[in-house]
Amino acid sequence: MMNVDVASNLHEVLGRLPEGVRLVAISKFHPNEYIEAAYKEGQRLFGESHEQELQQKVSSLPKDIEWHFIGHLQTNKVKFIAPYISMIEAVDSMKLLKEINKQALKNDRVIKVLLELHIAEEETKYGLTLDACRQLLEDGEWRQLENVRICGLMMMASNIDDEKQIAKEFDMAADFFDEVKEKYFKADDSFSERSWGMSHDYQIAVQHRSTLVRVGTSIFGPRVY
Ligand SMILES: *Cc1c(COP(=O)(O)O)cnc(C)c1O
């Protein structure tokens, strides 16, 4: 039995998104039943962060669901999701980008990706610092990777209550988006996504130029690990 009203939670979140902002419903650790409840309400875009869990869901849920991989992806796992993944949101190394290109080529498709920035004050191993991201783009090797399409940037703000600080981090990401858009993607319309905002801060994110919010808990309730 579901003890969460997924449908009403979903509509509440959707009702708070301005036009032009899309919702990635983050369903990790939640059973198919929860995803089906959101699907029934028209939601088609979902995000997962573990390859095996995603694989199971893909094989048992409707085929018109669009899946984003939002977690840290090990290079040896890329081949498993390459046949179907719609977007890989958290690319933070050239090594991973090359592997995605290789596996996309094998599957005769182009995989959309976002570059993950590390802006939050917290220590984490993941994400590119702004300088590392500048360097990666300046090196130019990514231009040869014809089976990946860099569609924008993704980041997580610090997990804190200070809304001013959170807003400041989103603004840093948005300014950085403008910088690299101008320098490397000016003529590329597909470089357009700014993925920021989770349950606790998506309402701030949409005021700071987010185009994709990744919301889990506010829709599906707390995760049981
Ligand atoms: C789990 C997760 C989310 C969703 O978090 P909620 O707080 O449940 O909304 C968003 N982004 C990433 C990268 C995540 O891992």
Can you tell me which atom of ligand 1 is nearest the CA of 218?
Answer: 9
Are 64 and 86 within 8 A, CB to CB? no
User: What confidence score (pLDDT) does residue 87 get?
Assistant: 98
For the chain, residues with pLDDT lower than 50 are: none
| Ligand 1 atom showing the smallest separation from residue 220 Cα | 8
pLDDT at 125: 75
Q: What local confidence, expressed as pLDDT, does residue 1 receive? A: 65
Quick one: pLDDT at residue 136? 98
With a 6 Å cutoff on the Cβ, whether 70 touches ligand 1 is yes
Task: Name the percent of the chain lying above pLDDT 70.
Answer: 100
Does ligand 1 have an atom closer than 6 angstroms to the CB of 214? yes
pTM: 0.97
E strand or H helix that includes residue 224 = none
DSSP, residue by residue, 103-146: HHHHTT--EEEEEEE--SSS--S-SB-HHHHHHHHHH-GGGG-T
In the three-class reduction of DSSP (H, G, I as helix; E, B as strand; rest coil), residue 25 is classed as strand
pLDDT at 3: 84
Rounded Cα distance, 103 and 81, in Å: 9
pLDDT tens digits, residue range 200-214? 999 999 999 999 999
Ligand 1 centre to CA of 26 (Å) is 6
Which atom of ligand 1 lies closest to the CA of 223? 8
